[in-house]
């Protein structure tokens, strides 16, 4: 690893803080005593995180499949250091007490009491205690698909602070800006909704998350060093738009990888890598979720038999259709239909757990509006419509 670069302050010129907002939310360091940390709920960072880091240095968090977000309190000391790791989810850390360093790639960023750390999904990192006593963190983990899957055309903009991170990105938001304490307040409101066991609580949770993300979007608005990254991502998504239209028109037909690559004008090998890089899902996994979305709409709006629906969305075997549906939606097709018909959901247009099927605003079914995490099914010979 290259020699560590130590930064003393954020790269963002935040300007003069809004003193009214700072005082109102307790953003000054002298106000940090107001934070009530639930000591009995604190988890040891090393014991919790280290066992979940795999051989590639990737940390996998066991999210609730129905709502992939979590808020927890962690303690970090200098006796043990978690390995440098990265993860597919996005991470926000508020330092409640003590002082630490945020070690990101080859940089050591001072992380002080009341500061906020913003960490995306591509950079290896860890938090290192820099005080004699353990530090306490409030941590928010969430899958980006929780925001992307709502079908709105501007969903990706909420995530720009996480998507635009390069080697000079100012990951630390200082306490003096007032933003960290506002973010913490929203983190605690999110925590109060977990587990999100009803449509109302999931809606409240996603609303609070979007409010939190808007604080970060505004904070990082002056930072334009990597805007080109986001623009390239948008261009990549445009290259896949014809394929998404094709999938919508040929949902029940066999769609081989070679056919999909032809639609995009790419070689098969390049297409498979490109599709996974742009969408975050393999082509096979994406198609499975796309078809389950169609099945949800048919279950909600028609009296078609299970066998007929499974055929219409491309599954030859009804039993495997049920297995895939339950893995993605969290219940059997029959249970899903009963819940929709009995008005147990707040909005019948919404599936109970909606996978992220519309990352670039391809016209979605009316049912595709609720967030979910992915438990990707594996390819199966009984699934007729996906080539390998």
Tell me, what's the pLDDT at 102? 94
- Do 183 and 93 meet the contact criterion of CB atoms below 8 Å apart? no
Q: How many CB atoms lie within 10 A of CB 235?
A: 10
Query: Would you identify the CATH topology of the domain 5-225?
Result: Jelly Rolls (2.60.120)
pLDDT of residue 347: 40
146-166 mean pLDDT: 79
Residue 383 or residue 219, greater confidence? 219
Q: Domain 240-388 is of which CATH architecture?
A: Orthogonal Bundle (1.10)
Question: CB atoms < 10 A from the CB of 196, how many?
Answer: 19
Crossing angle of helices 199-219 and 179-192, rounded to 10°: 170
| Structure tokens given for 15 | 């300007």
What pLDDT, on the 0 to 100 scale, is given for residue 32? 46
- Find out whether the peptide bond into 317 is cis, omega within 30 degrees of 0: no
Cα distance between residue 1 and residue 146, in whole Å: 34
Q: Is 332 left (phi over 0), alpha (psi -120 to 50) or beta?
A: beta
Domain boundaries, the chain: 5-225, 240-388
- For residue 337, what are the contacts with CB-CB under 8 A and spacing of at least 6? 299, 300
Give CB contacts under 8 A, 24+ apart, made by 54-58.
57/83, 57/84, 57/85, 57/86, 57/124, 58/85, 58/86, 58/87, 58/88
Percent of the chain exceeding pLDDT 70 equals 71
Which pLDDT band holds residue 367 (cuts at 50, 70, 90)? very low
Angle 227-249/268-279 helices, nearest 10 degrees? 110
Report the alpha-carbon distance of residue 358 to residue 144 in Å, rounded: 13
What lies within 8 Å, CB to CB, of 283 at 6+ separation is 257, 260, 271, 272, 275, 276, 386
- Residue carrying structure tokens 């003590």: 98
pLDDT winner (highest mean) among 149-153, 214-218, 255-259:
214-218
CA gyration radius, the chain? 22
Indicate the pLDDT class of residue 378, thresholds 50, 70 and 90: very low
User: What is residue 388's predicted lDDT score, i.e. its pLDDT?
Assistant: 31
Looking at residue 171, what is its pLDDT? 94
- Residues whose CB is less than 8 angstroms from the CB of residue 99 and which lie 6 or more positions away in sequence, other chains included: 110, 111, 112, 113, 130, 131, 135
pLDDT of residue 212: 97
Query: What confidence score (pLDDT) does residue 205 get?
Result: 93
Q: Span 321-325, mean pLDDT?
A: 89
pLDDT of residue 61 exceeding 70, the answer is: yes
Confidence band (pLDDT; 50, 70, 90) for 271? very high
pLDDT of residue 35: 63
Better pLDDT: 165 or 211: 211
């Amino acid at each position: 690893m290259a020699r560590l670069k130590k930064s003393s302050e954020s790269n963002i010129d935040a300007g003069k803080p809004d003193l009214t907002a700072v005082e109102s939310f307790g953003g000054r360091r002298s106000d940090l005593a107001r934070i009530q940390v639930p000591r009995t709920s604190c988890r040891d960072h090393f014991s919790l995180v280290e066992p979940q880091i795999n051989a590639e240095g990737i940390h996998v968090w066991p999210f609730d499949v129905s709502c992939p977000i979590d808020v927890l309190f962690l303690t970090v000391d200098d006796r043990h250091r978690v390995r440098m790791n990265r993860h597919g989810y996005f991470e926000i850390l508020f330092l409640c007490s003590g002082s630490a360093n945020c070690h990101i790639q080859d940089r050591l960023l001072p992380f002080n009491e009341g500061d906020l750390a913003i960490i995306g999904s591509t950079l290896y990192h860890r938090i290192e205690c820099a005080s004699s006593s353990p530090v306490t963190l409030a941590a928010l983990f969430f899958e980006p698909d929780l925001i992307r899957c709502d079908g709105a055309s501007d969903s990706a903009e909420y995530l720009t602070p996480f998507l635009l991170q390069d080697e000079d990105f100012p990951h630390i938001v200082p306490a003096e800006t007032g933003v960290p304490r506002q973010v913490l307040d929203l983190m605690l409101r999110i925590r109060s909704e977990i587990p999100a066991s009803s449509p109302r609580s999931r809606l409240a949770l996603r609303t609070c998350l979007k409010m939190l993300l808007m604080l970060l979007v505004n904070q990082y608005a002056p930072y334009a060093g990597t805007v080109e990254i986001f623009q390239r991502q948008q261009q990549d998504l445009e290259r896949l738009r014809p394929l998404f239209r094709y999938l919508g028109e040929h949902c029940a037909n066999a769609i081989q990888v070679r056919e999909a690559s032809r639609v995009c004008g790419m070689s098969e090998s390049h297409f498979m890598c490109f599709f996974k890089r742009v969408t975050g899902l393999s082509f096979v996994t994406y198609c499975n979720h796309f078809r389950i979305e169609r099945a949800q709409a048919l279950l909600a709006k028609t009296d078609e038999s299970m066998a007929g629906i499974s055929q219409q969305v491309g599954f030859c075997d009804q039993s495997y259709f049920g297995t895939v549906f339950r893995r993605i939606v969290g219940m059997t097709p029959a249970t899903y239909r009963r819940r929709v018909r009995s008005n147990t959901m707040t909005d019948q247009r919404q599936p109970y757990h909606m996978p992220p099927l519309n990352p670039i605003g391809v016209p979605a079914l009316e049912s595709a509006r609720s967030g979910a995490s992915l438990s990707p099914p594996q390819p199966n010979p009984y699934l007729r419509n996906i080539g390998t």
